Structure 1
Amino acid sequence: MWFKGLDIINVILLLLLFVRAIKAYPKLPQKIPTHFNLHLEPDAWGSRVMIFFLPTLAGFILSLFMVVLPESEPNLIVPITPENREVQLYMGDLMTKLLLLGILVFKHFLLSITICTEPACRKQFKPYIIICFISVFVVPFVYMVLSYIYR
């Protein structure tokens, strides 16, 4: 299907996440922010090794979405009939791939504000982080609506 390209994009995003973390590691101070409040001000600190937590978590999520979930029978929100099976499976696959894309882009922005030491630098990422965060909730909602329309 055409969205195999989304799998490739997701893997590339994961690799870029690791590359950015490795590239930034030598330049980081000994303590880096590991958690931020809603105003993107750091409220928890950790060692600079924590820069690899986001890429590792993203790798775990990617492997879950690409290896474990396709092997299991999908739990779709509408009853599957022979007439709607193809459409429902297609929409379910597309939703999971778009959801993963949103999560990986969100993690890129989180890594950016972790690397960024200037408060003004962090503020420029706020609209993008909000959009990514909202998309993680909007994509499944749109999927649910479309599933009921095409049942």
Structure 2
Amino acid sequence: MTANRPKIKLKLTKTDKIIEGISALGIITLLILPCYYYGQLPESIPTHFNGSGQADAFGDRSSIFLIPVFALISYISLTALSRFPHIFNYPTEITEENAAEQYAKATSLIRILNLIVIFVMGYITLQTIQTALGNSEGLGSMFLICFIIIMQIPTFYFVFSRKKNKTKQTTN
């Protein structure tokens, strides 16, 4: 079904460029952070936090680079994916008339989710470092709940804005 969809090269809006810039800065910061603190870290650092946000598994200090590497892989993957909006799943049929709007919304959603993932992984990395250095108790008990809620906000926004636009179109 995606073979019949129009392939459109979207122009980035100013907002898209800002989000991409912040994401790029975030990923660079996330990659530099463990390098900066590496020499200060003890040989054993937290590698996992339980549902209450307390460290419950430990590993070698070199494991501090795992989350930034996963974040980089995620960043590259989502950025590449956003270049091909015609292959996404959509809740509506994609036509020549609605393709540009649907693709723009979908790629904006991917950009925002990418930014959120980078910031969450940055927070986890920073808290892991601070916990290893004895400056923090861990992620905190509300981290998991906040993460789940924050990840859902953009999705709900785009779904409800689509329904609002659909309702507006049917009344005109």
TM-score by length of 2: 0.77
Q: What corresponds to 2:95 in structure 1? A: 81
How far off is 1:110 after superposition? 0.3
1:50 aligns with 2:46: no
| Identical positions, percent | 23
- How far apart are the structure 2 equivalents of 1:84 and 1:119? 54
Q: What corresponds to 1:144 in structure 2? A: 159
- How far apart are the structure 1 equivalents of 2:103 and 2:52? 39
Show structure 1 runs of 5+ residues with no match: none
How far off is 1:92 after superposition? 0.8
In the comparison of the two structures, how many residue pairs are matched?
A: 151
- Other structure's SS at 2:72 match: helix
1:121 aligns with 2:136: yes
Q: What corresponds to 1:60 in structure 2? A: 73
Who wins on radius of gyration, i.e. which is larger? 2
State the 4+ residue runs in structure 1 displaced beyond 3 angstroms.
122-133
Q: What corresponds to 2:106 in structure 1? A: 92
Q: What corresponds to 1:9 in structure 2? A: 22
- Other structure's SS at 2:92 match: coil
TM-score by length of 1: 0.86
Show structure 2 runs of 5+ residues with no match: 1-12, 167-172
Higher relative contact order (CA 8 A, sep 6+): 2
